[in-house]
A and B are shown apart, each in its own frame.
Chain A
Amino acid sequence: MQALLNGLIAGFLIALPAIALSLTYGVLNFANFSIGALITAGAYFAYFYNVDLGLHVLVSVALAGVSLSILAIVIERLVYRPLGDADHITLLVGSMGVAFVLENVIRLIYGADVRTLDITVSRPIIWNDLRLNNEQLVIVAVAVAAFVAVALVLKKTSLGRAMRATSDNPSLAEARGVNRRRIINWTWALSGTLAALAGALVAMDATVEPLIGTNYLISVFAATIVGGIGNPLGAMAGGLLIGIVEELSTLAFPTTYRQGVSFLILVAMLFLRPHGILGQAKIKR
């Protein structure tokens, strides 16, 4: 049971960036390989506000979200928009370049040391032999709030409708008066926020180091594909599923192979149901 609970919480952390990845895939039509570096950047933003500026940890998490959404828009402006006319393969390579640059900017500023946020350690809540600490409660609360917010934005607002329309058929959406630039900016802002929240929450629960995001990369992609790529709400379910399976797998395999388990799930999905468990079979090359 404890493993199940831990898996669920790990799943929330995977689900946040998985939604971000799915959003950018749907709207912009390319797989953003810099998502791992964005998670790391989020963690370091949280570290900056919390430790360097001495702000409260929850304020720091929120500010990390805002900062990374701005950074994501800046990156879009500097890299992806100039690449805009290129094919999506070039965009993929470009996003790998972005990841490489971000990671090394972080190393340049903070080095490779393992750091921790400034958090007062509290006693875990124990209920029926299940342990849950404060940070994990915050993770669940923030993640659930973020899911509800994303779902509401996508389903209820005109922005969300425009995003879904662009995702389905960009030229048709544009012909119907959807402002593509605005949608792209919002998509990046939203996925930047989600990635930052994930990074900041990981930082809260564990440590801050230059490879946190990279360590999540495969799980995040696996979650996105399980949920059906381009389907943000499916990505949420995929994230939870991957989190639980990874955690349960540690009962049978060494913990160091968690990402390996995700990779196996990913390959199995690509063979059997590349459109995801929830998605429809409309995936084409």
Chain B
Amino acid sequence: MTAYLVSILTFVVLSAVLALALNIQWGQAGMINFGLAGFFSIGAYVAAILAVSGVDPVSSTLAAIVSTAALSAIVSLASVRLREDYLAISTLGFAEAVRLVLLNESWLTGGPNGIREIPRPFAGVLDPSSYEVAFLGASVLIFAAVYVLLERIIRSPFGRALRTVREDEVVAATLGKNVLALRVKAFAIGGAVAGLAGALHAFYLSYIDPTQFASFVTVYAFMAVVVGGRGSNRGLLIGASTVMVLLEGTRFLKELLPFMNAQQSAALRLLLVGVALILLLIFRPGGIAREYRLTAPARDDAPATAAKT
């Protein structure tokens, strides 16, 4: 039971890291990334390939972060000048192209079999019995670090400029902001975080294959962001937990509907996630937590000044 709980919690934290990535791209910058699973998989594969060939885990993770950030910048460059729809289209296409490469370039990615026996980081120094718990702890710390870093970015002048671009790019451009550079940077930051999430995923599972990076990964991340409140990092942990509760909680359906085979009950669970996403978009588009806003203390003399002028 504890082992189950630890592994569920680890998955929640990892998906929350991925949701953080989406939240800076979609939440803060208003850029839709339908290919999130693709960037996530690149992070995982880069880290896994390097780690298997003997590079230490920290450098592998850094390489994963750098490569996804660079690819994100390139992909976003193709369409940032255009309406949001085009970025959604090109990221989706990118994810599909990545999936094809993962499936077909077996010499590099193992093809459909994926990569096995990825060395677990610091397995030598840690007691194997407490490894899972240690990994969970490390993931929580990494999540916290990314969270703090992103919050700082969001509250910085850069973050404010980003939201201005999201709301009205003409205003941002008129104020002398480089809209194109802001967008590409935001997308690259998100990509870096997605790459980090991918690397953690690879190290945690210690084997990866293309089926782990199907489009449902993207849907879960969107769900977590929508539940948590678009633009708000605070709600994300709750959002990610909700998705996990929905996924794990619906396992009982299998006992309730014994005539279904495993495939059908899996489909039913994913279906429920999709329906929940749509219902949320319709009825609670704001999610549960509010986006960070600068608030000024109320001025006592405000009505008086207003009256004078």
Chain A interface (Cβ within 8 Å of chain B)? 25, 30-31, 33, 79, 82-83, 86, 88-90, 92-94, 96-98, 100-101, 104-105, 107-108, 111-112, 214, 217-218, 221-222, 225, 229, 254, 256-257, 259-260, 262-263, 266-267, 270-271, 274, 283-285
Residues 205 to 242 of chain B near chain A (Cβ within 8 Å) = 215-216, 218-219, 222, 226
CA distance A225 to B85 in the complex (A): 11
Given contacts A93-B281, A283-B83, contact A104 B32 (CB under 8 A): no
Q: In the A-B complex, list the 7 residue pairs whose CB atoms are closest, starting with the nearest.
A: A107-B267, A101-B274, A100-B274, A104-B271, A263-B93, A31-B85, A108-B267
CA distance A89 to B78 in the complex (A): 19
Provide the main secondary structure of the chain B interface: helix
Given contacts A254-B104, A283-B82, A284-B83, contact A267 B90 (CB under 8 A): yes
CA distance A274 to B78 in the complex (A): 10
26 CB contacts below 8 A, A to B, read: A31-B89, A86-B281, A89-B30, A90-B281, A92-B32, A92-B85, A96-B219, A98-B278, A100-B273, A100-B274, A100-B277, A101-B274, A108-B264, A222-B93, A225-B89, A256-B100, A256-B103, A257-B100, A259-B93, A260-B100, A266-B93, A270-B82, A271-B78, A274-B82, A285-B81, A285-B84
CA distance A274 to B30 in the complex (A): 20
CA distance A254 to B105 in the complex (A): 11
B84 near A88 with CB under 8 A, answer yes
A79 near B97 with CB under 8 A, answer no
Q: Does B96 contact A (CB under 8 A)?
A: yes
Q: Does B275 contact A (CB under 8 A)?
A: yes
Q: Which residues of B contact A111 (CB under 8 A)?
A: 261, 263-264
Given contacts A92-B32, A256-B100, contact A104 B270 (CB under 8 A): yes
Least CB distance from A83 to B in Å reads: 6
Q: Which residues of A contact B86 (CB under 8 A)?
A: 225, 270, 274
Q: Which residues of B contact A112 (CB under 8 A)?
A: 263
A263 near B274 with CB under 8 A, answer no
Q: Which residues of A contact B103 (CB under 8 A)?
A: 256
A94 near B278 with CB under 8 A, answer yes
Q: Does B34 contact A (CB under 8 A)?
A: yes
Residues 239 to 284 of chain B near chain A (Cβ within 8 Å) = 261, 263-264, 266-268, 270-271, 273-275, 277-278, 281-282
CB-based nearest A residue for B31: A89
Given A92-B34, A214-B215, A260-B97, 20 extra CB contacts under 8 A = A86-B285, A92-B84, A93-B226, A93-B277, A97-B278, A101-B278, A104-B271, A105-B271, A108-B268, A111-B261, A111-B263, A217-B92, A225-B89, A256-B103, A256-B104, A259-B93, A260-B100, A270-B86, A270-B90, A283-B82
Q: Which residues of A contact B92 (CB under 8 A)?
A: 33, 217-218, 221
Given contacts A83-B281, A260-B97, A263-B97, contact A93 B264 (CB under 8 A): no
CA distance A101 to B103 in the complex (A): 25
B90 near A266 with CB under 8 A, answer yes
Q: Which residues of A contact B82 (CB under 8 A)?
A: 270, 274, 283, 285
Q: Does B169 contact A (CB under 8 A)?
A: yes
CB-based nearest A residue for B271: A104
CA distance A79 to B276 in the complex (A): 12
Q: Which residues of B contact A284 (CB under 8 A)?
A: 83
A33 near B264 with CB under 8 A, answer no
CA distance A98 to B169 in the complex (A): 30
Least CB distance from A42 to B in Å reads: 19
Residues 63 to 98 of chain B near chain A (Cβ within 8 Å) = 78-79, 81-86, 88-90, 92-94, 96-97
CA distance A97 to B272 in the complex (A): 10
Q: Which residues of A contact B97 (CB under 8 A)?
A: 259-260, 263
CB-based nearest A residue for B218: A96
A267 near B274 with CB under 8 A, answer no
Q: Which residues of A contact B85 (CB under 8 A)?
A: 25, 30-31, 88, 92, 229
Least CB distance from A238 to B in Å reads: 13
Q: Which residues of A contact B96 (CB under 8 A)?
A: 217-218, 259-260, 263
B285 near A100 with CB under 8 A, answer no
A104 near B281 with CB under 8 A, answer no
Q: Which residues of B contact A259 (CB under 8 A)?
A: 93, 96-97, 100
Least CB distance from A167 to B in Å reads: 15
Q: Which residues of B contact A283 (CB under 8 A)?
A: 82-83
CA distance A135 to B93 in the complex (A): 29
Least CB distance from B246 to A in Å reads: 13
